[in-house]
Amino acid sequence: MNAPILTVPQADPGAGYRAHKDEIDAAALRALGSGWYILGAEGAAFEKEFAAWQGAARAVGCANGTDALMLTLRGMGIGAGCTVVTVSHTAVATVAAIEMVGATPLLVDIDPDTFTMDADELVAVLNDPPPGLPPIRAIIPVHLYGQSCDLEPMLAACREHGVMVIEDCSQAHGATLAGRKVGTMGDAACFSLYPTKNLGALGDGGVMSTDDAALADRIGAIRQYGWKERYISDTIGVNSRLDEIQAAILRVRLPYLDATNARRAEIAAQYDAALAGGPIAPPVRRADAGHVYHQYVLRVPNRTALMARLRAEGVATAIHYPAPVHLQPAYRGRTPMGPAGCAETARAAGEVMSLPMFPELTEAQVAHVCGVLRGL
Ligand SMILES: *Cc1c(COP(=O)(O)O)cnc(C)c1O
């Protein structure tokens, strides 16, 4: 048996650290030496720099991406007695955040080509909500795998119905739609800063952005016990803060984000070329979307065989996600769905697979993956 010549991991957050090790180490040490570890100068500077990069008036850091969604919902006054529409083909966090505030999730199906929220079904449930649910107060569309969802018709319908739009940008830092950054078109945007995300901390982190200064102020208070003034809770809050070490590390990484996104796109272009003319189609790109390739996802009916074949050649793959939220044990049988019953979502979950994708993949690793793809 031949040992694989080269192994290619699917993701490698350690490589992301090593790529800028000296700068990251210096930033972490600076935070350690500062004597101030929670909500200090690093966090405030990261929020300013992130807002400027995003093109938003304000950014508020917090403990993780799930909390960014939860805090944003709370900041908007959305909780018990409200329905929030999202998708089932997403990280479970999107749906978990809705239930964390006591609201009811309503899951609509996805477009089978781009795996993002089906705009037609969203418009249908806004016009004619399923009976027995509290009023729809917000939607959380997810820009999945690094590509914008079909946001424009969703925004129009939400405006018409007075429904808030919270963009889940956890997989789409820097993605665009018709030349505009995702996260700048809805009422607020939420980002996970988990280590493998396009912008990742070396631990947990999250951030939300908005042009609504009052909303940002409310979220800034809720993330710290509802304090407006130290030790005086003005509203009921939680503890969800971004620590100074992570903020300092994120400040090192943010200036590289456009370049690492460009590197992801370069890798994607090489995968596209290797797949061209073969039996497996490359991912479908929306014509007006700037994709940032959080994942490079193929759709293959016989994925088990293909994953085993790649594995035998030293190429790791992953499945994002193997079970839709509505079919996971904690949610099955009790989570409301739109009229489509998430049929495309269930079909996609059985067929998607993600190739290795991170900016530090070497040319040799990419060439090795491409060689295997060409031989399919
Ligand atoms: C990663 C992710 C989240 C959750 O982020 P955490 O930082 O892990 O809490 C939410 N939504 C989507 C789409 C994600 O990919």
CATH number, domain at 321?
Answer: 3.90.1150.10
Atom of ligand 1 nearest to the CA of 66: 9
Ligand 1 centre distance from Cα of residue 169 (Å): 9
pLDDT tens per residue across all 376 residues of the chain: 555 567 999 999 999 999 999 999 999 999 999 999 999 999 999 999 999 999 999 999 999 999 999 999 999 999 999 999 999 999 999 999 999 999 999 999 999 999 999 999 999 999 999 999 999 999 999 999 999 999 999 999 999 999 999 999 999 999 999 999 999 999 999 999 999 999 999 999 999 999 999 999 999 999 999 998 899 999 999 999 999 999 999 999 999 999 999 999 999 999 999 999 999 999 999 999 999 999 999 999 999 999 999 999 999 999 999 999 999 999 999 999 999 999 999 999 999 999 999 999 999 999 999 999 999 9
Q: Is residue 31 part of a domain?
A: no
* Residue numbers of the domain that contains 284: 256-374
Q: Is residue 10 part of a domain?
A: no
Q: Is residue 42 part of a domain?
A: no
Q: Is residue 22 part of a domain?
A: no
Q: Is residue 312 part of a domain?
A: yes
Atom of ligand 1 nearest to the CA of 144: 13
Number of domains in the chain: 1
Q: What's the rounded Cα separation, in Å, for the pair 198 and 254?
A: 10
Bridge partners (DSSP) of residue 232 are 229
Q: Is residue 361 part of a domain?
A: yes
Q: What's the rounded Cα separation, in Å, for the pair 108 and 89?
A: 9
Ligand 1 centre distance from Cα of residue 153 (Å): 24
Dihedral sign from CA coordinates of 196, 186, 321, 204: positive
Ligand 1 centre distance from Cα of residue 94 (Å): 7
Ligand 1 centre distance from Cα of residue 276 (Å): 32
Atom of ligand 1 nearest to the CA of 69: 10
Rg value, the chain, Cα: 21
Report residues whose beta carbon is within 6 angstroms of any ligand 1 atom.
Answer: 64-66, 90-91, 93-94, 142, 168, 170-171, 192, 194, 204, 206
Atom of ligand 1 nearest to the CA of 197: 1
Question: Which residue from 134, 130, 62 is spatially nearest to 98, judged by alpha carbons?
Answer: 134
What are the phi and psi torsion angles at 130 (to 5°)? -60, 140
Q: Is residue 170 part of a domain?
A: no
Q: Is residue 330 part of a domain?
A: yes
